Amino acid sequence: MFKVNENYLKLPGSYLFSTIAKKVNAYTAEHPEANIIRLGIGDVTLPLAPAVIAAMHKATDEMGAKETFHGYAPDLGYEFLRSAIAEHDYKKRGVSIALDEIFISDGAKSDSGNIGDIFATDNKIAVCDPVYPVYVDTNVMAGRTGEYEEAAQRFGNVIYMPCTAETDFAPELPKETPDIIYLCFPNNPTGATIPKTELQKWVDYANANRAVIIYDAAYEAYVSEEDVAHTIYECDGAKTCAIELRSFSKNAGFTGNRLGFTVIPKELAFDGVSLNSLWARRHGTKFNGAPYVIQRAGEAVYTSEGQKQTKEQIAYYMNNAKVIREGLTAAGYSVSGGINAPYIWLKTPEHMTSWEFFDYLLETAHIVGTPGSGFGPSGEGYFRLTAFGTYENSVEAMKRIQELCRG
Amino acid sequence: MFKVNENYLKLPGSYLFSTIAKKVNAYTAEHPEANIIRLGIGDVTLPLAPAVIAAMHKATDEMGAKETFHGYAPDLGYEFLRSAIAEHDYKKRGVSIALDEIFISDGAKSDSGNIGDIFATDNKIAVCDPVYPVYVDTNVMAGRTGEYEEAAQRFGNVIYMPCTAETDFAPELPKETPDIIYLCFPNNPTGATIPKTELQKWVDYANANRAVIIYDAAYEAYVSEEDVAHTIYECDGAKTCAIELRSFSKNAGFTGNRLGFTVIPKELAFDGVSLNSLWARRHGTKFNGAPYVIQRAGEAVYTSEGQKQTKEQIAYYMNNAKVIREGLTAAGYSVSGGINAPYIWLKTPEHMTSWEFFDYLLETAHIVGTPGSGFGPSGEGYFRLTAFGTYENSVEAMKRIQELCRG
């Protein structure tokens, strides 16, 4: 008689963004006239850059002709893309990453969920709190956590590292030593970063304790301040302790194109077993590559045209971030983020819970945001808005919020 | 101190096709003049159908314009694609599958590896032997098997169901009751099928024993005989015991496009826990959908033009299969497969091992095939050739093999 993976049953509800989508759908079904502004899910709205579109058309034509057709991709992804990554994302920042340390994937969500496969079940994880829910949820599924504790709104056997106004939204080195440390900078959802000097302390800590850092740098392209690292490998010693996850979703608007990559330096090993080779085995056995057309699209991001065009997109979103930051501040909210990240993090007013504020904002202003508590217990009482909407909607949303204050 | 998943260390070498690629690369590096014919990996060679290419161009244009841009896809995949699947792959065969029982993915390789996530580690699996290595390898990674037994060339705690000339390449109901049964028809690598009446016996067996069948129907489009089922749901009672995996790789040449889907009927449950809801949770948490452009490409396969064009491709490959079957038979080989599948399965001559024959064929005829032993211990002494090459190469390969016999 077959048995299911009962770890799944520990998960309290559906995935955060599925819940939000259901709530919004129910609301719009009842209020079809409501002009909803969606600043909830971190999805981009600008079309793909012209350089990317041109590359996709060209690659599509290649797929339609016998001489230039491409079947299965190489295990690690096409070399043209891995070379562009090694050059632009690493070499230009003074970091040397070999081509076989880069694994092309269908996105950082898959990678951040799947990377757990190569670790033993009895590793103890540490996560920033709040943070992208995929880290904890996928570790729950893998049996690496205890039960969900309803009162504390947290899972047993997980080290939560609070990142609140009290800690300036940065995690402190944990008292209990973890085996796997998830770090995400610029952080989703708070938009917070830490200076490179602080990141270096985490690298030193991981090396000293033989912990591994899973460093999610999906929002790297939004870093605007000089003292913030773009890759963890800017820190000394990171190659012996850190895996880096990257995405094309937010720097080039690939949320509907699906492309990302994971870097695992060959120096990163446990008892002589290289994590690079374990991941290569997983990649080769359970995955068959990102589509050729999409890998060519990714390559186009690194051309000079592609760089110019995607930087303009980021500037557009960061202008929205400014509008939202300033609008919320003017409306009397306590706000952080939005400087090195497209996320604005606000304290809910009048001791509302995050979900109370979600309902309030949806019902009174027809604005969809994301409840902070969905990202972890320390997110309770906070709320995330994203800068990925249109400029017009960002302005309109702030107008509505300011009217609410006055009303 | 972090620890790796030691189950990975049980795997004896690299993934089969990675090993082959390395061997061929080494050979061609030494013999750059050799005109290698690749009938090894099951990769297609015909370009994508014009209807598919047109859909990809159109979708690319949509991604390049603000009004028609698509970000994150719905969790289960776009409804336009799931509707086309429900209609063409199921309703037309008298099977009713609801849209929320279909999960769009990036391919059957990912799905056949990832599906194990929703099952407990202590389930015992049964596999046809030989079969697609991903089933066993991914269960090894998950800790569901024992150690690799070098002498027997098999993993402990796995029920191998021999499919050899002695069993007419069909599995027999196992003596020991498994919890999870992997079936793949038309089979990779043998090309064998079983009649629908025989498949019904497996469904009845699974229901009687509360086992779950993971039915890989990636080669369904190649079924030419009337009495062979195209989907397991043609069998009575399959909805309470079977998950079906499907792919666009072989019916429409999507190996470089990456698209597949998994069907999990809502009736399939364990102790009141629906496998459909567990997979939905995994899909929503660890995956972010196939690219929009690729899902539109998949939709185009189901248009009348797309159907006509892809059927022509299949006919082309099946003509190759005929050339190879007849060529090998004329050269004195014992051959099976190639009727309902693009795979031809031959007995190695003169008691050569599968890898000995691989080297022999590569060195003397410059033909790359796949050693049968790579698919399981009962594949030893067999060898797989695929019909996915060009017609000219299939003819040339047979010429070379026939010359070898005379030589």
As a dihedral over the C-alpha atoms of residue A88, residue A90, residue A91, residue A95, rounded to 10 degrees, the angle is: 170
Residues of chain B neighbouring A282 (CB-CB closer than 8 A): 8, 141
What residue of B is the nearest CA neighbor of A61?
B53
Least Cα separation, residue B220 to chain A (angstroms): 19
Residue A14 has a pLDDT of 66
ipTM over 0.85: yes
Would you say A158 and A376 are in contact if contact means Cβ atoms under 8 Å apart? no
Minimal Cβ distance to B120: which of A4, A210, A285:
A4
Least Cα separation, residue B271 to chain A (angstroms): 9
CB contact under 8 A, B291 and A286: no
Task: Please return the burial class of B254, using the count of CB atoms within 10 Å of its CB with bins 0-12, 13-18 and 19+.
Answer: buried
As a dihedral over the C-alpha atoms of residue A87, residue A91, residue A96, residue A102, rounded to 10 degrees, the angle is: -30
Least Cα separation, residue A183 to chain B (angstroms): 16
Alpha-helical regions (H) of A243-303: 275-286, 292-301
| pLDDT for residue A185 is more than 80 | yes
d(CA A212, CA A114): 15
Rounded (to 5) percent helix, strand, coil in chain A: 45, 15, 40
Minimal Cβ distance to B60: which of A41, A46, A56:
A56
Q: Which helix (H) or strand (E) element contains residue B138?
A: helix B134-141
Amino acid at A276: N
Mean pLDDT of B167-182: 97
CB contact under 8 A, A179 and B141: no
Residue percentage of chain A with pLDDT more than 70? 99
Residue A316's alpha-carbon distances to A37, A196, A230, A388, B43, in angstroms, are 17, 26, 20, 9, 43
Nearest Cα to A77, choosing from A44, A45, A111, A48? Answer: A111
Peptide bond into B12 cis (omega under 30): no
d(CA A72, CA B56): 18
Residue B115 has a pLDDT of 98
| pLDDT for residue A41 is more than 80 | no
d(CA A347, CA A328): 10
Tens of pLDDT, residue by residue over A85-110, are 999 999 999 999 999 999 999 999 99
Least Cα separation, residue B65 to chain A (angstroms): 5
Of A188-192, A318-322, A402-406, B269-273, the range with the lowest mean pLDDT is A402-406
| pLDDT for residue A17 is more than 90 | no
Mean pLDDT of B4-22: 86
Q: B334-365 burial, b for 16+ CB within 10 Å, e for fewer?
A: ebbbbbbbbbbbbbbbeebebbebbebbbeeb
Q: Which helix (H) or strand (E) element contains residue B111?
A: helix B108-114
Q: B384-407 burial, b for 16+ CB within 10 Å, e for fewer?
A: bbbbbbeeebbebbbebbbeeeee
Minimal Cβ distance to A64: which of B50, B65, B275:
B50
In A56-179, DSSP assigns E strands to 102-105, 125-129, 148-149, 154-155, 158-162
Would you say A77 and A299 are in contact if contact means Cβ atoms under 8 Å apart? no
Average pLDDT value for chain A: 96
Residue A40 has a pLDDT of 87
Q: Is A398 left (phi over 0), alpha (psi -120 to 50) or beta?
A: alpha
Residue A177's alpha-carbon distances to A144, A162, A235, B186, in angstroms, are 15, 15, 21, 51
Would you say A132 and A112 are in contact if contact means Cβ atoms under 8 Å apart? yes
Minimal Cβ distance to A72: which of B69, B256, B293:
B256
SS3 B344: strand
* Single pTM value for the model: 0.96
d(CA A210, CA A271): 11
Which site among B4, B66, B132, B241 would you substitute to test the A interface, given the most A Cβ atoms closer than 10 Å to its Cβ? B4
CB contact under 8 A, A5 and B120: yes
Q: Is A96 left (phi over 0), alpha (psi -120 to 50) or beta?
A: beta
d(CA A332, CA A351): 14
Residues of chain B neighbouring A300 (CB-CB closer than 8 A): none
What residue of A is the nearest CA neighbor of B17?
A284
In A224-379, DSSP assigns E strands to 242-247, 260-263, 269-270, 273-274, 335-337, 343-347, 367-368, 370-371
SS3 B37: strand
Mean pLDDT of A384-403: 96
| pLDDT for residue A261 is more than 70 | yes
Placement of tokens 């000293």 in the chain: A208
d(CA A140, CA A158): 10
The residue among B40 and A6 whose pLDDT is bigger is: A6
Nearest Cα to A159, choosing from A144, A174, A138? Answer: A174
C-alpha A220, offset from chain centre: 10
Minimal Cβ distance to B120: which of A6, A47, A117:
A6
CB contact under 8 A, B53 and A69: no
Least Cα separation, residue B280 to chain A (angstroms): 9
CB contact under 8 A, B60 and A61: no
Residue B337 has a pLDDT of 96
Integer-rounded Cα Rg, in Å, for chain B is 21
CB contact under 8 A, A287 and B3: no
Average pLDDT value for chain B: 96
Please name the residues in contact with B43: beta carbons below 8 A apart, sequence gap of 6 or more.
A71, A72, B255, B388
Would you say A176 and A208 are in contact if contact means Cβ atoms under 8 Å apart? no
Minimal Cβ distance to A285: which of B61, B123, B134:
B134
Mean pLDDT of A273-277: 96
- Looking at chain B, the number of H-run helices and the number of E-run strands are 11, 17
Residue B381 has a pLDDT of 97
| pLDDT for residue A293 is more than 70 | yes
SS3 A322: helix
CB contact under 8 A, B209 and A1: yes
User: Nearest 5°: phi and psi at B69?
Assistant: -65, 145
Minimal Cβ distance to A114: which of B72, B210, B286:
B286
Task: Give the long-range contacts of residues B13-17, CB within 8 A, separation 24 or more.
Answer: B14/A281, B14/A284, B15/A75, B15/A281, B15/A284, B15/A285, B15/B133, B15/B137, B16/B133, B16/B370, B16/B374, B16/B375, B17/A284, B17/B41, B17/B370
Tens of pLDDT, residue by residue over B49-93, are 999 999 999 999 999 999 999 999 999 999 999 999 999 999 999
CB contact under 8 A, A46 and B66: yes
Residues of chain A neighbouring B290 (CB-CB closer than 8 A): 106, 258
Which site among B58, B60, B259 would you substitute to test the A interface, given the most A Cβ atoms closer than 10 Å to its Cβ? B60
Of A391-395, B16-20, B149-153, B331-335, the range with the lowest mean pLDDT is B16-20
Would you say A56 and B38 are in contact if contact means Cβ atoms under 8 Å apart? no
SS3 A117: helix
Residue A407 has a pLDDT of 60
Placement of tokens 């051959």 in the chain: B335
CB contact under 8 A, B72 and A113: no
What residue of A is the nearest CA neighbor of B67?
A47
| pLDDT for residue A405 is more than 80 | no
Amino acid at B171: P
d(CA B327, CA A276): 44
Tens of pLDDT, residue by residue over B290-321, are 999 999 999 999 999 999 999 999 999 999 99
Residues of chain B neighbouring A275 (CB-CB closer than 8 A): 4
Minimal Cβ distance to B71: which of A114, A256, A294:
A256
Residue A16 has a pLDDT of 79
| pLDDT for residue A307 is more than 80 | yes
| pLDDT for residue A404 is more than 90 | no
Least Cα separation, residue A15 to chain B (angstroms): 6
Please name the residues in contact with A308: beta carbons below 8 A apart, sequence gap of 6 or more.
none
Q: B221-230 burial, b for 16+ CB within 10 Å, e for fewer?
A: bbbeeeebbb
Least Cα separation, residue A346 to chain B (angstroms): 25
CB contact under 8 A, A3 and B179: yes
Tens of pLDDT, residue by residue over A318-338, are 999 999 999 999 999 999 999
Residue B42 has a pLDDT of 82
* SS (HEC) of A163-232: CCHHHCCCCCCCCCCCCEEEEECCCCCCCCCCCHHHHHHHHHHHHHHCCEEEEECCCHHHCCCCCCCCCH
Placement of tokens 């502004």 in the chain: A37
Residues of chain A neighbouring B257 (CB-CB closer than 8 A): 63, 291-293
Least Cα separation, residue B42 to chain A (angstroms): 9
Minimal Cβ distance to B48: which of A46, A63, A253:
A63
CB contact under 8 A, A278 and B8: yes
Minimal Cβ distance to A292: which of B45, B53, B256:
B256
Q: Which residues pair with B119 in a beta bridge?
A: A4
CB contact under 8 A, A212 and B2: yes
DSSP code for B119:
B
Q: What strands, in cross-sheet order, belong to the sheet with A242-247? A: A102-105, A260-263, A242-247, A212-216, A180-184, A125-129, A158-162
Both tokens of residue B46?
A: 């015909």
Tens of pLDDT, residue by residue over B196-255, are 999 999 999 999 999 999 999 999 999 999 999 999 999 999 999 999 999 999 999 999
Placement of tokens 């001559």 in the chain: B349
CB contact under 8 A, A258 and B134: no
